[in-house]
Amino acid sequence: MSHAPAPAASHDPYAPLRIPNFRWFVGSIMAMAMGAQIQGVVVAWQMYAVTHDPLALGMVGLAEAAPFIGFALYAGHVADIRDRRRVALTALAVLLAAAGALAVASRMLLGQGRPSVGIRWTIYAVIVVCGAARSFLLPARNALGADLVPRPLYPSAVAWRTGIWQVAAFSGPALGGMLYAWVGATVSYAVAAMMMMAALIAVARIDAPPRAAVARAEPLLASVRAGLSFLFTRPLFLGAITLDLLAVLFGGAVAILPIFAEEILHVGPQGLGALRAAPAVGAVLMSGILALRPPPGRAGRLFLWAVALFGLSMVAFALSRWFWVSLAILAASGAADMLSVYFRGTMTQVLVPSNMLGRISAVNQIFIGSSNEIGAFESGVAAKLLGTVPSVVLGGIITVVVTAITAWRVPALRRMDRLDDQQVL
């Protein structure tokens, strides 16, 4: 007996937001993301201001990626055997302390005219701590999100939470750029710390269901092995994760946006905030479409086209010499990236058993979350060796080529239809 897709009229886009726990959950995501984005803009601009070295910007990404990757598998194991809410609270407390440490360091090291090398290595050290904290936060938070809503609401919940994150990603960089220009680094870091405090309070208000604390404890190696086996024996996951890894690794340009802002577009720290926020504008618009409409058909093809468009957008951005054109191109790249994020996030929650979500999210973050930081390091190195514009153009071209190869080599991904029709693997 065939099953026809549910009519669009039956789709209730606001159902997840009627759940109080989910509202606190997305509130914490927005506050934490705003704090992280403000901190990221200030760190990038402050680092470039004291070094004028693109490699130093790349090293910031590497400083976060190394612990992020190093703790990821253990963090996923912890998310599946411990109270996910408590794990998230602990990680947020560490991020709060890190933002406060940056504020104190900026005040003490730069406010008294000390050599810039002090603030440089202090930033690296604090970012290492942030990377470790995020490594535990993300799998616990992703798994906790699945505990808070019924399974039929997963696609809509993913659209709302990723969209709200993008709202923060839009407002956070713009606010960070303005704060840095108006009140300096110390106050900007203090504002980031307040955002982390708000995120911690929101998670504390979540009444986590019993499932979050009753997962069966397994030996660490056996637990990690089971998660890796689940992932690497399923071409859908492996193809999607690998494609996104390579796209962000080679196609991103966020780490070297300070160079575009100062030397190519000549727009200063306020312009840098706008450039970092522009992708989120497109992502917010796309997330609104995804949240208010039923899950799209031909999801696999849509995902592949989105990644290819992201790569083409990076090529166009590198060649642009007009600020407003660059903003529009970055917005288009954000819309394409939002489609990719939605596809992977929904696929994970729909296809992965609940008791493995922490481990799969951890492996997923090694491939994808760390690719942002490693991609930042790659961007800095490539800009140093090839020049800023050629490095971004080459990265965009590589992204398009990798997308074509993935479409050819993983036909199951290309043929995947509606995400809400898929079954747990």
**Percent of the chain surpassing pLDDT 90:** 24
Q: Which region among 200-204, 329-333, 407-411 has the lowest average model confidence (pLDDT)? A: 407-411
- How far apart are the C-alpha atoms of 163 and 74, rounded to whole Å? 28
- How far apart are the C-alpha atoms of 42 and 179, rounded to whole Å? 9
Task: Assess contact for 378 and 250: CB atoms under 8 A.
Answer: yes
Give the pLDDT score at 324. 93
What's the pLDDT tens digit per position in 182-200? 888 889 999 999 999 999 9
Could you tell me where the DSSP H helices lie in 82-219?
A: 84-105, 116-147, 154-204
The larger pLDDT score, comparing residue 49 to residue 401, is at 401
Whether domain 15-204+218-421 has CATH 3.40.190.10: the reply is no
Q: Where are the domains of the chain?
A: 15-204+218-421
Give the pLDDT score at 5. 46
- How far apart are the C-alpha atoms of 408 and 346, rounded to whole Å? 23
- How far apart are the C-alpha atoms of 233 and 228, rounded to whole Å? 8
Q: Which region among 208-217, 234-243, 354-363 has the lowest average model confidence (pLDDT)? A: 208-217
User: Is 55 a residue whose pLDDT tops 90?
Assistant: no
User: Is 248 a residue whose pLDDT tops 80?
Assistant: no
Distance of CA 353 to the CA centre of its chain: 23
Q: How confident is the model at residue 116 (pLDDT cuts 50, 70, 90)?
A: low
Give the pLDDT score at 6. 44
Give the pLDDT score at 117. 62
Q: How confident is the model at residue 97 (pLDDT cuts 50, 70, 90)?
A: very high
Q: How confident is the model at residue 51 (pLDDT cuts 50, 70, 90)?
A: confident
Q: Which region among 60-74, 320-334, 405-419 has the lowest average model confidence (pLDDT)? A: 405-419
298 Rama class: left (phi>0) / alpha (psi -120 to 50) / beta: left
Element at 70 (helix H, strand E): helix 54-70
What's the pLDDT tens digit per position in 140-153? 998 888 889 887 78
Give the pLDDT score at 382. 79
**Percent of the chain surpassing pLDDT 70:** 87
DSSP reduced 3-state for 234: coil
Q: How confident is the model at residue 3 (pLDDT cuts 50, 70, 90)?
A: very low
DSSP letter string, 373-417? HHHHHHHHHHHHHH-HHHHHHHHHHHHHHHHHHHHHH-HHHHH--
33 to 37, 66, 165, 168, 234: CA distances (angstroms): 6, 20, 6, 6, 31
Give the pLDDT score at 110. 60
The larger pLDDT score, comparing residue 45 to residue 133, is at 133
What's the pLDDT tens digit per position in 332-387? 998 988 888 888 777 777 777 777 778 877 777 776 655 666 666 667 777 778 88
0.85 exceeded by the pTM?
no
User: Is 235 a residue whose pLDDT tops 60?
Assistant: yes
Which of 248-252, 323-327, 333-337 holds the top average pLDDT? Answer: 323-327
User: Is 35 a residue whose pLDDT tops 90?
Assistant: yes
Give the pLDDT score at 7. 44
Give the pLDDT score at 8. 44
Q: Which two tokens stand for residue 122?
A: 């202090």
Give the mean pLDDT of 104-108. 82
Which of 249-258, 294-303, 319-328 holds the top average pLDDT? Answer: 319-328
Average pLDDT, the chain: 81
